[in-house]
Amino acid sequence: MHAVFASYAKELGCSYIQDEAGNSYLVNDPSDGYCLIASHLDSVIEGGEYDGAAGVIAGLMCLRWARRDGLRVPLRVGAFRCEESSNFGLCTIGSGLITHESYKENIDSLKGKDGRTIAEVFREKGWSLHPKKISGIGEYLEMHIEQGKVLDETKTEVGIVGTIAGPKRYRMYLNGMADHSGATPMSMRNDALCAAAAIILEVERIGHREAAYNSVATVGVLNNAPNVMNVIPGEVTIGIDMRGIQKESLDRMERDLLRAVKSICQFRRIDCRQEKINDVSPIRMSPETEEGLVKAARELGLSFRRMPSGAGHDAMSFPPLCRTGMVFIPCRAGISHNKLEYTTIPSVADGTAVMYRYLKDRYGTR
């Protein structure tokens, strides 16, 4: 995908560069103060074709229109690596590394699904986990499918994002005692999978309780060992993903989760090792960029709504550095992270037109 992305350089009159973390860019003008329009090219396992890719295509279209119209602004289009937490459990790795915003702690020992550490993978690819910080950026824009049902169900053409939900993520390693499923009396078991089941239902209960604040809580990862019919499960790993646009709600979910894990494991005589893999506060987009995108949508006569993002995005990495804004487009039935994920070319064009109109309003043409 990055090679295909790079192949557009010539027809768009751009140069292709890669940063030290392996992220790709097309550059129409090397001067500072550039506007970066980007998203990611990786996807979740068994995912769809639009999450990330649609936003990169929107950037390429803006480059093409800017070249046609002689837009004055220095534009770059970016394709980030490893935005999804599917492999290393951590999200927005590519954009987080080059902004130095998301990873102040050392992530070298994070293991991917194939057991190799991120340090081994980066070394093999010739990339750095400690790249020099991105510089010269004036503004960051990203277009993305909503991955929710609001725009589709309300038949709204575009969404303008105000706040992106922050993720708090844990991996819990539950250790009980593998034992004979036939010969071990029920009162003498340390069943790690039953403890996990109690925790999973508690995560769901906490999520429902905080739904009033737009918070959600999910257990998406479950590994059970030895995972055979006649052995009481001894070792279980679960991955917990909590998200919220209100910090207090996120903190309440975390507090109640840790309390529940402690009491469930004590009651069931299970040892639990906790690994906190993500703790990103809810991120506010720049108000002036948000207002500019709203103005552009209005000028284009597109139906729009201001809305939060429940999903995380590379745009989370940029507000500490520069003005940042996001545009959403509908996806069919809100389905995402699923092969059925779908949006239309006219919707991609609508979202792109809003970003491009914003650029013209802000920077003007020759």
Q: Which does 96 bind (CB under 5 to 8 A by kind): Mn ion, ligand HGY, none?
A: none
Q: How far is CA 120 from the centre of its chain?
A: 23
Among 48, 52, 96, 292, binds Mn ion (CB under 5 A): 52
Is 83 a binding residue for ligand HGY by CB under 6 A? The answer is: yes
Residue number, 60 or 331, with CB nearest to ligand HGY: 331
Residue number, 44 or 63, with CB nearest to Mn ion: 44
Residue pointed to by tokens 């004036």: 138
Is 55 a binding residue for Mn ion by CB under 5 A? The answer is: no
Please state the closest distance from residue 242 (CB atom) to ligand HGY, in A.
Answer: 12
Number of residues interacting with ligand HGY: please give it, by CB under 6 A.
6
Is 84 a binding residue for ligand HGY by CB under 6 A? The answer is: yes
Q: Which of residues 85-104 bind ligand HGY (CB under 6 A)?
A: 85, 91
> Helix/strand/coil (H, E, C) string of the chain?
CHHHHHHCCCCCCCEEEECCCCCEEEECCCCCCEEEEEEECCCCCCCCCCCCHHHHHHHHHHHHHHHHHCECCCEEEEEECCCCCCCCCCCCHHHHHHHCCCCCCCCCCCECCCCCEHHHHHHHHCCCCCCCCCCCEEEEEEEEECCCCHHHHHCCCEEEEEEECEEEEEEEEEECCCEECCCCCHHHCCCHHHHHHHHHHHHHHHHHHCHHHCCEEEEEEEEEECCCCCEECCEEEEEEEEEECCHHHHHHHHHHHHHHHHHHHHHHCCEEEEEEEEECCCEECCHHHHHHHHHHHHHCCCCEEEEEECCCCHHHHCCCCCEEEEEEECCHHHCCCCCCCCCCHHHHHHHHHHHHHHHHHHHCEC
35 and 138 Cβ atoms separated by less than 8 Å: yes
Residue number, 328 or 356, with CB nearest to ligand HGY: 328
Is 311 a binding residue for ligand HGY by CB under 6 A? The answer is: yes
> Nearest Cα to 149, choosing from 332, 321, 356, 291?
332
Residue number, 82 or 232, with CB nearest to Mn ion: 82
Residue number, 39 or 289, with CB nearest to ligand HGY: 39
Residues in the chain: 366
Q: Which does 146 bind (CB under 5 to 8 A by kind): ligand HGY, Mn ion, none?
A: none
Question: Site map for ligand HGY, 249-288, x if CB under 6 A?
Answer: ----------------------------------------
219 and 257 Cβ atoms separated by less than 8 Å: no
Contact range with ligand HGY by CB under 6 A, out of 1-9, 78-86, 125-133, 193-201: 78-86
Q: Which does 91 bind (CB under 5 to 8 A by kind): Mn ion, ligand HGY, none?
A: ligand HGY
Number of residue whose CB is nearest Mn ion:
51
Among 55, 78, 176, 312, binds ligand HGY (CB under 6 A): 312
Please state the closest distance from residue 154 (CB atom) to Mn ion, in A.
Answer: 21
CA distance 20 to 99: 12
Q: Which of residues 32-51 bind Mn ion (CB under 5 A)?
A: 51
Contact range with ligand HGY by CB under 6 A, out of 83-91, 152-160, 289-297, 320-328: 83-91
Please state the closest distance from residue 102 (CB atom) to ligand HGY, in A.
Answer: 12
Residue number, 150 or 198, with CB nearest to ligand HGY: 150
Q: Which does 52 bind (CB under 5 to 8 A by kind): ligand HGY, Mn ion, none?
A: Mn ion
Is 164 a binding residue for ligand HGY by CB under 6 A? The answer is: no
**Site for Mn ion, rule CB under 5 A:** 51-52
**Site for ligand HGY, rule CB under 6 A:** 83-85, 91, 311-312
